[in-house]
Amino acid sequence: MASVTGLEGVVAAETEIGNVDGERGHLVYRGYWAKDLAVSRGFEETAYLLWYGQLPGERELAALKGRLAAARVLPDELRRLLDALPAGLPMMGVLQAAAAALADGAEPAWPPRADQAERMTALVPGIIAYRHRALQGLAPVEPDAELDHAANYLYMLTGRRPEPDHARALTAYLVLGMEHGMNASTFAGRVALSTQAGLYPAVSAAIGAMGGPLHGGAPSEVIAMLEAIGTPDRAEPWLRDVLERGGRLMGSGHRIYKTVDPRAEALRAVTRGLTGDDPAFALALHVEETATRLLAEYKPGRRLHTNVEFFAAAIMKAIALPTALFTPTFTAARVVGWTAHMLEQAGHNRIFRPQSRYVGPLPAASEQLL
């Protein structure tokens, strides 16, 4: 009997939320190309699409922005929890504890509701910023209702209004990070939700899965490569040296996408429009173009293309985001997709109950007991 370890290729659910086609390089959010949404739409618009099934009109968008802005303020009890957590607890553990704590028993756990999805999404950036600043001995920065989701996140982290280019690039990254099919964390969230545990505990389960290095790992190796290259004129000799030694260029190739990663394609387009004002974006774009050309030369026929982690690293470097916040920031995006899947799961819920195949030893034969 063939092994099904890891459930790879097994269909666990039907969904209308997102579609990933690695062979064709397609990523679709509810009938829209994700790369087009990242270039032409904002965080709030795309979140509305995933939650409610259609892009918002002006009134719906304004109302959603107002609700998200109002929900950004951390409740006092949540601040006390964040202050009480051990200083050595990683940020993903902090987020997991905070998500679980939002289920305070004051409201029924089932069924999950869209306003809970909105609240969870609004609070995650503030939780990250509050905890990060506290560990640095800095006072918290209260949210600014005039800023959109990405810009407000950067503002709460630093206390300064971000450069428009940085906010725009981060918005594109967050849009592209919202949804990616039945990945490990989305599956974990849907499994937990299927038990009628409630949305907040299910998000906590998804965060736990995201925290593993095989899933939500940060693009720190790409940043190290960009920093080692330093200037555009060093790109080709540095990259050639790595390839001549049989090394791997960080940020190239993808387990799912066998052609161009559509998320990288969108971030490339956004980055190209920002290179005039930020040398970090200009360097990343030059390195990417050089790496693509050299990979075709050294590894013909391998279909190696720049993946989303490459441009994610460029954005994180440009906005000076600490390495410890890479995966939490990814989480601030993916919480939209998780909660959309949870709302969908609740609509036709059936508890996940797969079977395992026992391959251990059997007890010795014995007479039947009377």
Amino acid (1-letter code) at residue 157: L
Helices (H), 136-183: 149-158, 164-177
The side-by-side arrangement of strands in the sheet containing 26-29 is 18-21, 26-29, 32-33
Contact 302, 295 (CB under 8 A): yes
Catalytic-role residue among 132, 166, 180, 254: 254
| pLDDT for position 275 | 53
**Structural tokens at position 150:** 């990405």
pTM of the model: 0.88
Is 286 among the residues known to form the active site?
Answer: no
Distance CA 178, CA 206 (A): 13
| pLDDT for position 1 | 45
Is 288 among the residues known to form the active site?
Answer: no
| pLDDT for position 279 | 78
Contact 179, 315 (CB under 8 A): no
What single string gives the DSSP state of each residue in 346-357? Answer: HHT---------
Distance CA 260, CA 249 (A): 16
Dihedrals φ, ψ of 305, to 5°? -130, 160
**Buried/exposed code over 159-184 (b: 16+ C-beta within 10 A; e: otherwise):** eeebbebbbbbbbbbbbbbbbbbbbb
Instruction: Please classify residue 345 by burial: count the beta carbons closer than 10 Å to its beta carbon, then call 0-12 exposed, 13-18 middle and 19+ buried.
Output: buried
**Structural tokens at position 216:** 């939500």
| pLDDT for position 308 | 78
| pLDDT for position 272 | 73
Distance CA 156, CA 123 (A): 12
What single string gives the DSSP state of each residue in 178-225? Answer: S--SS-HHHHHHHHHHHTT--HHHHHHHHHHHHTSTTTS---HHHHHH
pLDDT below 70 — which residues of the chain?
1-4, 216-218, 253-259, 274-278, 303, 366-370
Supply angle C-alpha 154, 284, 22, rounded to 5: 90
User: What are the strands, taking DSSP E only, across the chain?
Assistant: 18-21, 26-29, 32-33
Contacts of 99 (CB under 8 A, 6+ apart): 120, 200, 201, 203, 204, 207
Catalytic-role residue among 179, 265, 309, 344: 309
Three-class secondary structure of residue 239 per DSSP: helix
| pLDDT for position 369 | 54
**Structural tokens at position 294:** 């050299």
- The DSSP call for residue 108 is -
Contact 103, 155 (CB under 8 A): no
